[in-house]
Structure 1
Amino acid sequence: MINKLSIIIPAFNEARTIALVLEKIKEVELINNIEKEVIIINDASTDNTEETIRTYQNNNPELTILYFSQQINMGKGAALNRAIQETSGEYLVVQDADLEYDPKEYNTLLQPVVDGVADVVYGSRFQGGNPHRVLFFWHTLGNKFLTFLSNMLTNLNLTDMETGYKLIKTPIAKSLNLREKRFGFEPEVTAKIAKVKDIRIYEVGISYYGRTYADGKKVCWKDGFRAIYCIIKFNLF
């Protein structure tokens, strides 16, 4: 049973797109009249991200937005860890502040939960039938390698461990004791979810509207090596 979905957004210098993302979230009508709660963690942005969020919040009171600001930039993982603790919905979903993932697909993620079969749902960019911007070959190869390595150690058969769309039962998310502060969040949360007894994990296909570095993409090759470290650390130690 789910009455409320908590949508958590880590934001760092996303003034150009954050209002568009919030508008997309507002326009989505969730199945079964599920309520929406948006939790934004501004990770010490140096542009006018905060002003943009505040303006949108004031002009759109019908969308519940809880806003928190970190005084020091601590990374995406740290922002997500903070946001998870502020949630009140039965389930939560991570929403990046850019436009790579489409909130219209929340219902796709929610369907296995509404059907009563899932505790966690991953949105895979690599399952067919969905729009997928054609971008970096080596990024795609790297993502598939990280998923393969993660699957070896978790004994899961995910196609996209690094996806930004993860829908998780809130009590489970709050119990995971997540520690990674940057982009190691994805392999860490996957490793710890896989260890939860009798957990039901599903995967659904989603669209992906990737960004280039000129568009503001932040993940780089160093984060790939950190992900390998996190996969080994959180699965074996």
Structure 2
Amino acid sequence: MTFKKLSIVIPAYNEGPTIHLILEKIDAVKVIQNLEKEIIVVDDCSSDNTVERLQAYSQSHAHQKIQLIQHNKNQGKGAALHTGIKHATGDIVVIQDADLEYDPQEYNILVKPILDNFADVVYGSRFIGGKPHRILFFWHSIGNKILTFLSNAMTNLNLTDMETCYKVFRREIIQSLDLKEKRFGFEPEVTSKVARIKGIRIYEVGISYFGRTFEEGKKIGWRDGFRAIYCILKYR
């Protein structure tokens, strides 16, 4: 199969300080095999200047084609991803957060297993490969490991980072899933449903991670951790 386009789906909620910066980083990436970049930003009814910053950026970077989709009410990250995935037309789909925690320069190592026809799905792991990562919260780290362990026990996978943002899919695979979770339950749900596909080839690659604090805009909390456990059990 010949791959021609990479769809980059960006859910955004109150990311005014960083939305233009992540788009600049994406613009600087030259994707291997000259894949065309399709950028889909789904604004989940932000209450700050996210949309205005995005529109101003688009006007000054006319060469960078950006599709903006706006929710008329806040629904959650998962719902924004559902919308973006539905509108994706690329051969490969990558999920990108609107903050600066994940580096778009790593798209090439993420998509390579698919381009080489080894993988159908690729997860970027923050815990393998010796990549740099910011040292932050001990209990968040433990929580991630517990959620990954529980997810693996239900799916019979051996992932090291189920909760990672960087998930890459062949488009026909991700669009074939009936996804329900509207918040951060997206991660365990999509993992469970992908794992059930007969003959699916899932790979992991090491990525760097530049985490942020709650003061810097991090949104996930302990309630989302309990919801993730519920989703792991629900979709097992």
**Matched position secondary structure for 2:157:** coil
Q: CA deviation at 1:16?
A: 0.0
For residue 219 of structure 1, what is the amino acid of its counterpart?
A: I
Instruction: State whether residues 119 and 202 of structure 2, in contact with CA within 8 Å, keep that contact through their aligned partners in structure 1.
Output: yes
Task: Give unpaired runs (5+ residues) of structure 2.
Answer: none
CA distance in 1, matches of 2:58, 2:235: 38
Which residue of the partner structure matches residue 163 of structure 1?
A: 164
Q: How far does the alpha carbon of each residue in 1:110-151 deviate from its partner, in whole angstroms, 9 at most, with x for none?
A: 111121111000000000310010000000000000000000
Which residue of the partner structure matches residue 227 of structure 1?
A: 228
Alignment of 1:105-144 (within 5 A): 105-144=106-145
CA distance in 2, matches of 1:187, 1:20: 28
**Matched position secondary structure for 2:94:** strand
Which residue of the partner structure matches residue 101 of structure 2?
A: 100
Which residue of the partner structure matches residue 189 of structure 1?
A: 190
CA distance in 2, matches of 1:128, 1:139: 20
For residue 10 of structure 1, what is the amino acid of its counterpart?
A: P
Instruction: State whether residues 5 and 90 of structure 2, in contact with CA within 8 Å, keep that contact through their aligned partners in structure 1.
Output: yes
CA distance in 2, matches of 1:121, 1:2: 15
**Matched position secondary structure for 2:53:** helix
For residue 50 of structure 2, what is the amino acid of its counterpart?
A: T
Identity %: 60
Q: CA deviation at 1:20?
A: 0.2
Instruction: State whether residues 129 and 205 of structure 2, in contact with CA within 8 Å, keep that contact through their aligned partners in structure 1.
Output: no
Alignment of 1:13-28 (within 5 A): 13-28=14-29
TM-score under structure 1 length normalisation: 0.98
Which residue of the partner structure matches residue 217 of structure 1?
A: 218
CA distance in 2, matches of 1:112, 1:17: 29
Task: Give unpaired runs (5+ residues) of structure 1.
Answer: none
Q: How far does the alpha carbon of each residue in 1:19-64 deviate from its partner, in whole angstroms, 9 at most, with x for none?
A: 0000000000000101100000000000010001111111112112
Which residue of the partner structure matches residue 57 of structure 1?
A: 58
Q: CA deviation at 1:230?
A: 0.2
Moved over 2 A (4+): none
For residue 95 of structure 2, what is the amino acid of its counterpart?
A: V
TM-score under structure 2 length normalisation: 0.99
